Amino acid sequence: MLRRRLGSALLPLVWVALGCSGPSVERNVPAPPIGDTPPPAPVESTAPAPKRALELDGIALGDRLEGVLARSPYDQPCELDALEGQPRQIVIYDPEPCEGTSFPDATLLLLFVRRPPSGRTIETIAWIGGTYFSERSSFPLENGTPKGVLDAALGSPVRSFPLDGEPTVTVWQHRPELHTFTRDGRAVGLVWGPMPAETRSNDWRIIGAQMNHVTYVGRRRIRSCCAALEVLLPSAPSAQLPRWSEAKEACLSMKEAFEPIPALDGFRATFRDVSLPGACRSP
């Protein structure tokens, strides 16, 4: 927290405001008469500590990265790289398989971390897609929320711009350090913390590239699944032919899914009783 120093000329006013006459000086204070009740002992406050502005599963701006990396599922990031020309690093938690693991519930998490001499602290958090933080966040909204509901809860945006690297996504700045993302009029993520004013900066490009990657991979898998169902449908077991036909229609309907990876996960769950082609199964 930024603390402002008060000039010496303001100190008397501060003392008066606190109900004090000034800095303590040595003086003789008469003892209270016998029989007087001594002042009560000070009582420690039991009020809870104030909540931080935003938390995702207990992670907030200003936290030390080492504390986050000490617990699951954050102990296995996909990438931890320095940003060229900046005193920041980026930590990526990818919903796609990476280094033998993947982040849960089709959720992409990016942490921008400052590297001061005293240790690495989280400066900016980006939550993109998925549902992992839907029940683990102090943020009042979730992905899929209509744009009008976003504005009513967060205030009208002061500016907007297309996300560099993912032109189907619009970035809305509601406050100096709060941005939300929408696609097709619905929320697909947020960024909490300082970001460059220049919309084509490297930080925004990284977010756009990561979002594009998740969207592209999901839609590519959906297309592969649909193609396999189309080819193999004539040779499907007769007992499963009606379910295969349903699966084919369901697959075609999610080709332009709002969030392709969760859509594909839901498709697999719906048709778990069907011997789906390999292209439709989990990677």
pLDDT: is 32 or 194 the higher one? 194
Tell me whether residue 255 is in a domain.
yes
Assign 3-class secondary structure to the chain. Answer: CCCCCCCHHHHHHHHHHCCCCCCCCCCCCCCCCCCCCCCCCCCCCCCCCCCCCCCECCECCCCEHHHHHCCCCCCCCCEEEECCCCCEEEEEECCCCECCECCCCCCEEEEEEECCCCCCEEEEEEEECCCCCCCCECCCCCCCCEHHHHHHHHCCCCEEEEECCEEEEEEEEEECCEEEEEECCEEEEEEECCCCCCCCCHHHHHHHHHHHHHHHHHHHHHHHHHHHHHHHHHHCCHHHHHHHHHHHHHHHHCCCCCCHHHHHHHHHHHCCCCCCCHHHCCC
Same domain for 225 and 149, yes or no, is no
> Which residues span the domain enclosing 113?
65-198
Domain assignment present for residue 9? The answer is no
Shared domain for 107 and 189, answered yes or no, is yes
Residue 8: what pLDDT? 31
- Tell me: do 162 and 79 sit in the same domain: yes
Answering whether pTM is above 0.85, one says: no
Confidence bin at 274 (pLDDT 50/70/90): confident
Least confident segment among 114-123, 153-162, 174-183, 259-268: 259-268
In a shared domain, residues 193 and 79 = yes
Q: What is the pLDDT of residues 198-254, one digit of tens each?
A: 999 999 999 999 988 877 777 788 888 889 888 888 888 888 889 989 999 998 888
